[in-house]
C-alpha cells in the first residue's frame, strides 16, 4: 500500500452501535478499491465467537453478530484495529449480498393498502413498485434478447396499463418473494460453507538476520531457511540442508510409516516431524495468504453450476417463446385481452430457473451440515450417478495408527511372550513414532508391568539400543538389525513370510547375539469402514475398488477383510490415474476417495474426486467433494444427500412443467382470470422453492451412521516411567 493510501485508511474502526450480541462499526478500510471482500469476510468470520459478518461497502459499515462474550468483543476490536497493517489481497469481489426483505415488505404493504387508496395514488405507486421489473425487462431485451425478464415485464406491465393494479402488484410481490427466498438460502449456504472451511493459521520458524523468528507460513519467501522440530508441520516444499528426522508424510504420499529425512532429501509441505530436527531451504512457497486461498477456493466452488441448471436455464428461456406464441395465438383467435394477460402470467421459468439452483444450493447446505463440502451442482449430479467407488487405502479405509496383532517369540526359554512385549514396550515408550505408540498401547492393554532398563539409545530412522539385565537389546527394522548389527533372521523366513502375507508390518527384536522376537502390526481399519461399504452398496454402488501404493500382500489381506471387489496394489500416482481411466472406459460412473498429494491425478481423473478431512491441501483443492470430518460415514451421508437432491430436482422440474402447463391451458380457455393465473403460477413457484429448501431435510430410506467415538482408557497397571 503506498503512503497516501495507507495514511487515508490508517484511521481505525469506529463503534457506532452495540447490543449484547451485535456490534456495528464504521471502517474506512472498506473504501479501498483493492480490497478482496471474500478474503475480508472469511478472515473476520474466523474470529472465535463470531457468528456472522455483514459488510456494507457503500456505507463503509460492518456488522458483527457474536456470542456476547467479552473475549470475542475484544478479539473483534483487535482484528479491526490491526487490519490496515495486514497485506490487502488484490481482488474485485464484492461482499456477499444479504437478502433484503425491505422491498418485499413495501410491496406487501402496498397490496394491503390498495383498497383504501385513490386511483391516481394506486397508479403512481404501482408503476413505482414495478419500475425495477420494467427496467430489467427493457435492458434484457436490448442486451440479451427475449428472456424471462422480458416476459415478466410484459405480464406485469399489461396489468398495470389496463388498470388492474391488484394483479400487477400481486404478481410483482410473488416474484420478489421467490427472489428473496433464493438470495436468503444462497447466503445462508455460503456462510455455512465458509465457516466450515475457516483457515487454521500455521506458524513457522524462519532464519532472518541471523536469528530464528516465528512467522505465518504464508509469509515465508523462496530461498529462506526454515527450522522444523518435533511435532511441527513442515510449511513448505524444500530441500533439507542439515539435520536428520523421522517424518510422517502419510497425509501427503500415503505411506503408512514415517520416513527418514536427512541432508539433500526433499520434503513436502504438510508432513510432520515426529523425531529429530531439520533445517530446510524453502523452494516452493505460496504467493498468497492462506485466508485468500481458502476464500477463493470456496468462492469458486459456490459459483460452479451444473448441467441440469444450465439445461433448466435453456429450457426456461425457450418456454418464454412458447408463452408469447400461445398468448399471441389466443389473442388472435379470441381478441380477448383478459385471456392474453392470463397466459402471459405463466412463464415456466421462475420455477425452473430459481428452483433448480436453489435445490442444489440447499443440497450443498445440508451436506455442509453433515460435514461434507459439495463443490457446486456438477459435484452433486456426478456423485448421485456414481456406481463405482475407488478407495485409496492409507488414511481412507484405514487410519494412520497401527495396532499390534502378533508377538512371535524366537527364544521362548529366555524371553517368554509377556516378557518380550513388556521389555519392548518399556524401551519403545521413549520413542514417539507410530510403531512405538502401538506397542506401548498393546502392553498397557495387557496390564504388563514396566521392565527396568538402562539408558535407551535412539538412532533416528533406524531403531533403538538399550541394556536390559545384562543383555543389550536392539529393536528396529530387519535391514537395520541385519546390515548394521550383523544378526541373521533368515532361519525364520517362513514365519516372516506368513506375517507379510497377512498384510502385517514387522518390528524385529534381538540381543546383540541372537534374534529373540518378531512383533507384527497392522494399520487399524476404520471402525465404520465395513458398515460404510455396506451402506454404499445399498445406495446403488455396484463395485468397490481399492488402490494403494502398499505391498500387495497387505492390500489383498485388507481387501478380503472388508469385502472389496478389486484390489490394485503397489501403484504409483500415475498408475492410479491409469486405473481410473480404464475403469471409466468400461462405462462406469466413478468416484475416487483419497487424502494425499499422490492422489491428485486420480482425484482429477475420476468423475467425482473425494478428499478426506485430513487430506493434503492439494487433494482438497483437486477434489469435487471434501469430507470435513475424519469420519468415513460422512461419504455415505454426502452420497445420500446428492441422490435425494437429484431426485428432488427432477420431481420439481416435472411438477413445474406439468402444473404450469395446466394453468396455461386454463388461462387460454378463459377459465382463469389474470389474478387467478398469477396466484396459481407464482404460488406454485413459491411452493416449489420452499420444497427445494425443505425437501431433503430428513433422510428417506438410508440409515444414518452415527459418529464413532473411540475412548482411550488408561489401565491401572499400565507401563509407566
Catalytic residues, by residue number, are 392
Nearest of 621, 392, 395 to residue 523 by alpha carbon: 395
Pairwise CA distance, residues 112 & 116, whole Å: 9
DSSP β-bridge partners for residue 373: 626
SS3 category, 312: helix
Pairwise CA distance, residues 50 & 69, whole Å: 10
b/e map of 206-223 (b: 16 or more CB within 10 Å)? beeeeeeeebebbebeee
Please compute, for residue 458, the number of CA atoms within 13 A of its CA located in the half-sphere on the CB side. Answer: 16
Let me know: does 275 contact 260? Beta carbons within 8 Å: no
DSSP β-bridge partners for residue 260: 246
Nearest of 432, 377, 374, 351 to residue 182 by alpha carbon: 351
List Cα–Cα distances, 647 to 293, 313, 658, in angstroms: 34, 18, 16
Largest CA distance in the chain: 113
SS3 category, 8: helix
Supply φ then ψ for residue 52, to 5 degrees.
-155, 160
The runs of H, that is alpha helices, within 222-336 are 250-253, 290-303, 307-334
Q: Which residue has the cell 492439494?
A: 618
Let me know: does 397 contact 567? Beta carbons within 8 Å: no
Nearest of 603, 632, 416, 595 to residue 516 by alpha carbon: 416
Pairwise CA distance, residues 283 & 269, whole Å: 11
Pairwise CA distance, residues 171 & 347, whole Å: 12
Pairwise CA distance, residues 309 & 313, whole Å: 6
How many CB atoms neighbour CB 564 within 10 A? 20
Amino acid at each position: 500500500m503506498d503512503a497516501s493510501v495507507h495514511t487515508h485508511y490508517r484511521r481505525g474502526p469506529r463503534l457506532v452501535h452495540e447490543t449484547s450480541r451485535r456490534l456495528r462499526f464504521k471502517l474506512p478500510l472498506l473504501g479501498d478499491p483493492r480490497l478482496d471482500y471474500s478474503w475480508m469476510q472469511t478472515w473476520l468470520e474466523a474470529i472465535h465467537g463470531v457468528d456472522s459478518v455483514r459488510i456494507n461497502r457503500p456505507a463503509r459499515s460492518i456488522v458483527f453478530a457474536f456470542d456476547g462474550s467479552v473475549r470475542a468483543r475484544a478479539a473483534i476490536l483487535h482484528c479491526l484495529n490491526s487490519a490496515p497493517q495486514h497485506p490487502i489481497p488484490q481482488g474485485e469481489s464484492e461482499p456477499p449480498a444479504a437478502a433484503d426483505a425491505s422491498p418485499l415488505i413495501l410491496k406487501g404493504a402496498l397490496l394491503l393498502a390498495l383498497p383504501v387508496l385513490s386511483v391516481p395514488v394506486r397508479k403512481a405507486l404501482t408503476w413505482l413498485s414495478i419500475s425495477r421489473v420494467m427496467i430489467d425487462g427493457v435492458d434484457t431485451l436490448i442486451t440479451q434478447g427475449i428472456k424471462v425478464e422480458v416476459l415478466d415485464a410484459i405480464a406485469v406491465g399489461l396489468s398495470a396499463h389496463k388498470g388492474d393494479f391488484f394483479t400487477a402488484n400481486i404478481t410483482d410481490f410473488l416474484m420478489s418473494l421467490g427472489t428473496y427466498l433464493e438470495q436468503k438460502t444462497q447466503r445462508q449456504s455460503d456462510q455455512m460453507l465458509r465457516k466450515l472451511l475457516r483457515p487454521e493459521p500455521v506458524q513457522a520458524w524462519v532464519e532472518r538476520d541471523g536469528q530464528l523468528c516465528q512467522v505465518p507460513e504464508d509469509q515465508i519467501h523462496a530461498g529462506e531457511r526454515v527450522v522444523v522440530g518435533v511435532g511441527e508441520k513442515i510449511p513448505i516444499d524444500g530441500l533439507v540442508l542439515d539435520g536428520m528426522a523421522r517424518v510422517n508424510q502419510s497425509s501427503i504420499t500415503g505411506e503408512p510409516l514415517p520416513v527418514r529425512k536427512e541432508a539433500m532429501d526433499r520434503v513436502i509441505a504438510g508432513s510432520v516431524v515426529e523425531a529429530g530436527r531439520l533445517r530446510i531451504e524453502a523452494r516452493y512457497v505460496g504467493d498468497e495468504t492462506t485466508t485468500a486461498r481458502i476464500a477463493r477456493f470456496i468462492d469458486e466452488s459456490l459459483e460452479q453450476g451444473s448441467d441440469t441448471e444450465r439445461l433448466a436455464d435453456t429450457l426456461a428461456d425457450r418456454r418464454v417463446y412458447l408463452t408469447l406464441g400461445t398468448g399471441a395465438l389466443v389473442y388472435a383467435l379470441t381478441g380477448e385481452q383478459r385471456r392474453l394477460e392470463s397466459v402471459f402470467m405463466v412463464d415456466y421459468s421462475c420455477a425452473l430457473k430459481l428452483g433448480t439452483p436453489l435445490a442444489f444450493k440447499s443440497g450443498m447446505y445440508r451436506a455442509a451440515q453433515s460435514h461434507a463440502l459439495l463443490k457446486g451442482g456438477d459435484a452433486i449430479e456426478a456423485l448421485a450417478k456414481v456406481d463405482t467407488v475407488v478407495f485409496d487405502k492409507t488414511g481412507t479405509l484405514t487410519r494412520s495408527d497401527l495396532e499390534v496383532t502378533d508377538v512371535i517369540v524366537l527364544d521362548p526359554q529366555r524371553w517368554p511372550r509377556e516378557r518380550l512385549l513388556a521389555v519392548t514396550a518399556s524401551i519403545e515408550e521413549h520413542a514417539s513414532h507410530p510403531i512405538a505408540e502401538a506397542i506401548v498401547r498393546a502392553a498397557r492393554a495387557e496390564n504388563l508391568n514396566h521392565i527396568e532398563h538402562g539408558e535407551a539409545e535412539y538412532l533416528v530412522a533406524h531403531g533403538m539400543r538399550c541394556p536390559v539385565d545384562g543383555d543389550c537389546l536392539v529393536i528396529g527394522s530387519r535391514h537395520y538389525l541385519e546390515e548394521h548389527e550383523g544378526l541373521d533372521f533368515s532361519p525364520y523366513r517362513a514365519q516372516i513370510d506368513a506375517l507379510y502375507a497377512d498384510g502385517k508390518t514387522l518390528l524385529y527384536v534381538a540381543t546383540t547375539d541372537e534374534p529373540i522376537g518378531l512383533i507384527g502390526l497392522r494399520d487399524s481399519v476404520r471402525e465404520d469402514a465395513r458398515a460404510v461399504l455396506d451402506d454404499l452398496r445399498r445406495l446403488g454402488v455396484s463395485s468397490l475398488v481399492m488402490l494403494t501404493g502398499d505391498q500387495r500382500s497387505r492390500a489383498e489381506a485388507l481387501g478380503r477383510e472388508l469385502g472389496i471387489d478389486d484390489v490394485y496394489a503397489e501403484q504409483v500416482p500415475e498408475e492410479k490415474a491409469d486405473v481410473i481411466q480404464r475403469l471409466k472406459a468400461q462405462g462406469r460412473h466413478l468416484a475416487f476417495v483419497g487424502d494425499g498429494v499422490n492422489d491428485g491425478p486420480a482425484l482429477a481423473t475420476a468423475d467425482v474426486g473425494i478428499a478426506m478431512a485430513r487430506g493434503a491441501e492439494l487433494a482438497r483443492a483437486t477434489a469435487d467433494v471434501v469430507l470435513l470430518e475424519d469420519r468415513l460415514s460422512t461419504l455415505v451421508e454426502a452420497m445420500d444427500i446428492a441422490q435425494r437432491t437429484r431426485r428432488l430436482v427432477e420431481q420439481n422440474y416435472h411438477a413445474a412443467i406439468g402444473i404450469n402447463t395446466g394453468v396455461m391451458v386454463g388461462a387460454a380457455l378463459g377459465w382463469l382470470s389474470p389474478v387467478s393465473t398469477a396466484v396459481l403460477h407464482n404460488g406454485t413457484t413459491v411452493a416449489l422453492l420452499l420444497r427445494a429448501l425443505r425437501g431433503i431435510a430428513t433422510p428417506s430410506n438410508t440409515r444414518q451412521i452415527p459418529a464413532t467415538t473411540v475412548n482411550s482408557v488408561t489401565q491401572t497397571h499400565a507401563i509407566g516411567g
